[in-house]
Amino acid sequence: MVQYSPHLDLTFAAVSDPTRRGILQRLGKGDCSISDLAVAFDMTLTGIKKHVHVLEDAGLVTTEKVGRVRTCRVGPRRLDEEMRWIMNYQEMLEGRFHRLGEFLERTRRE
């Protein structure tokens, strides 16, 4: 069985959920408290905390608690490894389409 880096697994699992992708988009505009995220996504504090925790585990978000407020911000982790995987996958697909096009062209002429 092929195994990939744990970073890839965590990242792709984290961004597989539309709410978590929305949280990342929101944090791209600026830092936000857990409470504000819960309101923005019409979720309970517990629910939004679970999503933020998944994003934290993947290194995509960091949080800091000051007093009673936990603030979230986009994490320091870059997605270089994920981009390489996506580019390799795209090249593989393009190669297959190219070979299919060549095959169709050959069979059309015969």
**Residue 44 carries which DSSP code?**
-
Residue range 27-59, pLDDT digits in tens: 999 999 999 999 999 999 999 999 999 999 999
Q: Domain map of the chain by residue range? A: 1-76, 78-110
Average pLDDT, the chain: 91
**Residue 9 carries which DSSP code?**
H
Q: How far apart are CA 28 and CA 11, in angstroms?
A: 17
Where do the H-state alpha helices sit in 1-110?
Answer: 6-15, 18-28, 34-40, 45-57, 80-109
User: Which top CATH class is 1-76?
Assistant: mainly alpha
Where do the H-state alpha helices sit in 58-79?
Answer: none
Name the pTM for this structure. Answer: 0.77
Percent of the chain exceeding pLDDT 90 equals 58
